[in-house]
Structure 1
């Protein structure tokens, strides 16, 4: 039986963690011996392994994660909120029994004092195929996870706009150099979840010469599924006679890559356009940890806080007329896929991997990048659409045909077997 070990920093915390766990489950359903081992384990699932053998090691791991964040403030400009990872701490993983026993090592998100360049390079000693899914840009930059318009990753980084003291040999260039030295020792097979990530990898100075394959993430289509809208609203205590727009975590206007300021501006425009009809629209917002610290919005808003129950989250998607995501840079955001899987269309900017999921005016609306007016047009299009059932069907069909568990698992199995030279007649390659 093919043995695959997935390595990630956390167990389901964040999009990368969820993607890792969902892929692991999908592979197990296809009779693959698939396991997940994490740097820091929050949950209690006994099937998820950890590199920490005891409470002391776990405390040390937590300490290095926190210390990295504290030290980072000495180097990063305070007004910049772009995620950035340094290479000060790391740990070896090559002696773990499940890593040694695996046929394929599959890396996911390995930052936060986990696999620094030195310990990444160690993996080459195991002489096993290494697959690495890029959930953001960090693997091929000098530290940042979100690039925006910065093109320094095309060269060798340096002069980093996020650093207090940028120059040709700044810490971003030194991290780039460390990564380059490590990667030269490794045979890395890259998976890009979106066409945007694929093109980014192929143009990067660190990874342009590596084999790269586009395979999307997957999700639980039996959990995120269409539910009767009226019934969903009843269960959530939402009005049945209103247009309801759902949106995710609402950070401050300063959180650049989330695009909150564009959404708030768009809502103001929509309210002006609708005039007396504005009372017919409400918002539902999930993901806010602090219900008292939320932005003032143009429409009545229902703040649900953080939702840790996928069944309830799916109910929220199903209750909405559309999901709004104003993100300015995203690889293959799960909120979009989850919404579509529940039959709920999406309004988003044309950016990152979102166009791989949202088909303009078929299962949602792709607004012009950074145009609040175009985003408003998208919301207006939803309100005025005369065939909601058709929209819902297109949304669900998109996920089932492109992102369902079996489809994505088989694509991964085909890659694994190709790397191992063990393709099975009638199997993933048959």
Structure 2
């Protein structure tokens, strides 16, 4: 056992990619002997290892109010687009919490939706402890948006926000930027970027460009997300063993710009028109929430799995696929890509965000040109016609074990914690 106490702060308990990444890191740290605990603002599940800040009926009611207020007030100011925007007007103080006070290091993760707004973030400076903050999206260094696309206003002081109904030099995004600037000037924290793309984005930001940054990826349970015999995995999904299975990790919506659904649809239709691709040998499998009103039409036989709550079953679904496709237009270090590779299923994706940190072109998958549906189709065709698919599959698994396994990632974080503690005034 290492004499070190870490407390992780996250709004939710595994609800979303950041929550999953937070819990996985805490488990990995505990496995190497670090005393690591997760403190959440609102708990959906019943994991006894997670400490819930909103246990009492009153605290829970207040948390629900804060969460809903943040979400719906943001919609009142933002345009009707699928890009999340946070006002961060509501919040919850944690400086008097016993776990936070006793921790040697405070590790912040995703704290929007009414949890740590700039005011309560600045309070953490009073504890005089090392603070680490993992950026699971771009919100920490923007005036409100979580996904930036091509907007470069965060290089300056935001304002003129393309997401707001009332946009101008002094709009809400600029006001939020100013509030963050004031808070950040009071509290020192070390940034962890899960991808090189995120690290570069932080360096380009006007809010945090001079902060120290460590690039450390998220991790995954390699003993859960692991390879299975593909023919047997396909039988579980009632798919013929000889079928080439294309999987996508969300229920596509025609209106969801961030997920790049239309590029997936266009790529599949182009693939179906290619003479070297026999349509009857391909089947599309999609898991995630169903949106019956916005389901696109696909050219191949499609199976919708719905939401999968058990990781063991999800791993077998990945293993049943011959290719996993993610047409995401901006993503930090998507869990679905890591999960697929861990199950020895190659990934085909656009060259964007942190995906190139995981997918190595023509080695464990295919990196298509950004927003190029034809190249996405080329990637599927490349894998479909590949004479040594097993080698690509083995490399997919090997790449995760080498760079993203729990022990590797936990030890990298431990090194950061110890360095920060050693640098503290004696």
**TM-score calculated relative to the size of structure 2:** 0.97
Could you tell me which of 7, 10, 13 is aligned with 1:8?
10
SS of 1:74's equivalent in the other structure is helix
Deviation at 1:69, TM superposition (A): 1.9
Please say if residues 138 and 146 of structure 1, whose CA atoms lie closer than 8 Å, have aligned partners that are also in contact.
yes
2:125 is matched with 124
Q: Within the alignment, does 1:59 sit opposite 2:61 as a pair?
A: yes
**Matching residue of 1:363:** 364
Q: Tell me the equivalent position of 2:334.
A: 333
| Structure 1 residues 352-392: Cα deviation after superposition (integer angstroms, max 9, x where no partner) | 00000000000000000000010010010011001011011
Instruction: Please state whether the residue corresponding to 2:76 is helix, strand or coil.
Output: coil
Structure 1 residue matching 2:274: 3-state secondary structure? helix
CA-to-partner distance for each residue in 1:168-218, whole Å, 9 max, x for gaps? Answer: 000000000000000000111000000000100011001111110000000
CA distance in 2, matches of 1:359, 1:146: 24
Q: Which residue of 2 aligns with 1:350?
A: 351
Aligned positions of 1:26-425 closer than 5 A: 26-78=28-80, 80-274=81-275, 277-290=278-291, 294-421=295-422
> Considering only aligned residues, what root-mean-square deviation do their CA atoms show, in Å?
1.3
Q: Which of 309-318 and 48-57 deviates more?
A: 48-57
SS of the residue 1:163 aligns to: coil
CA distance in 1: counterparts of 2:107 and 2:221, whole angstroms: 20
Over 3 Å counting, the alpha-carbon distance change for 1:322 and 1:276 in structure 2 is: closer
Instruction: Tell which deviates more after alignment, 68-77 or 23-32.
Output: 68-77
CA displacement, residues 91-141 of structure 1 (integer Å, 9 cap, x when unaligned):
101111000000000000000011100000000000000000000000000
Query: What is the Cα deviation at residue 309 of structure 1?
Result: 0.6
Q: How much has 1:55 moved relative to structure 2?
A: 1.6
**Shift, 1:19, TM fit:** 0.2
Displacement of 1:274 in angstroms is 3.7
How far is 1:292 from its partner? 6.9
Q: Which string of whole-angstrom CA distances, capped at 9 and with x for unpartnered residues, describes residues 201-236 of structure 1?
A: 011001111110000000000000010001111122
Whether contact under 8 Å (1:282, 1:300) holds in the other structure is yes
Aligned length: 422
Post-superposition CA distance 1:28-67 (Å, at most 9, x none) = 0011000000011001111100112402211211122112
Contact between 1:143 and 1:172, CA under 8 Å: does it hold in 2? yes
Conservation of the 8 A alpha-carbon contact between 1:253 and 1:260: yes
Judge which range, 62-71 or 162-171, deviates more. Answer: 62-71
* Residue aligned with 1:70, SS: helix
For structure 2, the residue ranges without an aligned partner over 5 or more in a row are none
Kept in 2: contact 1:291–1:305 (CA 8 A): no
TM-score (norm 1): 0.96
> Cα distance, 1:251 vs. partner?
3.1
Distance 1:237 1:61, change over 3 A: same
Deviation at 1:73, TM superposition (A): 2.2
Distance 1:230 1:422, change over 3 A: farther
Q: CA deviation at 1:276?
A: 7.2
CA-CA distance at 1:293 after TM superposition? 5.1
Contact 2:251 2:290 survives alignment (8 Å):
no
Structure 1 residue 250 displacement after superposition? 2.6
Deviation at 1:74, TM superposition (A): 1.8
